[in-house]
Structure 1
């Protein structure tokens, strides 16, 4: 497993400062090869406090259903190499229970998808999101790179 700490900074609208907290994301790819095969990672934060929310959101996303819960935050996608080097800032989210969907893309297509439920507290949080291939997604050709850092530094093909 390859873990990449991701952090994104955008202010959730409509919330007072004292009702928000920083959330740092630790994105775990199933392998270095799959991290290298990914271009960007999109994060969508949903307001769904019900138990099992992530499982429902994940299944609805990979089956292209549109009846998803309200979106709390949907910042721009983050390049995988930015995640590898820890460049983004933490997400700033309102306190409460949310589901964070992470989608690693390759071109315009979803390559890997993962979801984690989080109860955001005033102390802030670190959330692990494990990415996986959704059902019949074709596996891309492998790179000659041994590490994500080598790939990001253009040391291999």
Structure 2
């Protein structure tokens, strides 16, 4: 029997879902050079349609490796870490406007609320409230999405795939 070649291995694909309802935009449109430059990894961003308090949900099932008021990282069963970063420079708020609902080390299912966020606090501070969803250490060539342009996506709807 011939040894397997990379082309005979199954393609592992991870579906990533939107952590809240809003308008989709490319990471390049996020007002942060690290996120926009895809230094951490590739993905998409979503901007909430309103300033009500939101429950920001896990975009994939997995284990929470890190949880901060302004960001969390879910490690999926496929070995890809998905970072959800709430706003730009929101670390400067020192937790104001954020309520952590889950703890580091917990296992979550896709759609589980992880952080409750009042984006009006960030807006009052003049901060961008875009939520970046990033496949860590994954290049843009491995990200595919049917969402292009400023279209709305619902919380829990398919956002992008990682292959």
TM-score clears 0.5? no
TM tier, smaller: under 0.3
Identify the structure with the greater helix proportion.
Answer: 1
Q: TM-score, normalised by structure 1?
A: 0.27
Q: TM-score, normalised by structure 2?
A: 0.26
